Amino acid sequence: MTEGFEVYAEFVKRLADAEVARRGSLEQKAGAVITTSGTLVTLLFGLVAVITAGSTYSLPREAHCWLVGSLVLFVLAAVIALAVNIPRPYGQAELSKVQLTSSWSDTAEKAQAVVAGLHLKAVEKARHVNDVKAWMLVAAFAAEVVAVFLLAVAIGIVLHEARLP
């Protein structure tokens, strides 16, 4: 039969494992934002270069602020996403030599409880760091969405002006 402390210890371990997995997922999604923002900025520059390559064509003035806004937000999204991947201290279960020496003769149940408590502190810290990363990722996604909208408006202006005689 499974002892209660074993059940709790397994539960705490699963909490810690979930935060490690969440961290990996957030950092992977941040990588996707970096990639898409970088790609779209590159395409934006390519588009402007191709459109303005002819000596007689210039971008409509009305499109300039939309393109600049789009560029700024794509770069901002990438910078925020890069910040998500900055290494931060995650909670580590720490037990000093003095604590370990004084607790060495504890029962298995008591040792398990101490270790579970240390892991719970680590989980709290990891959860906080992951929450901050999640909000940063939301901000990066939002910046990217607004940048796409601004780019679409600019392209609409360019296409509209191209149809005029």
- pLDDT value, residue 20: 84
Identify the residue with better confidence: 136 or 47: 136
Can you tell me which residue has the tokens 């950092």? 27
Instruction: Specify the amino acid at residue 95.
Output: L
CB 26 within 8 A of CB 88: no
Q: What is the torsion angle, in degrees rounded to the nearest 10, for the CA atoms of residue 145, residue 149, residue 155 and residue 159?
A: 140
CB 41 within 8 A of CB 33: no
Q: Give 31-90 pLDDT, tens digit per residue.
A: 888 898 888 888 877 877 776 676 676 778 898 899 999 999 999 999 999 998 888 777
Question: Which residue range(s) make up the domain with 93?
Answer: 4-163
Answering whether pTM is above 0.85, one says no
Number of domains within the chain: 1
| Cα–Cα distances in angstroms (integers) from residue 153 to residues 39, 54, 111, 139, in the given order | 19, 22, 63, 21
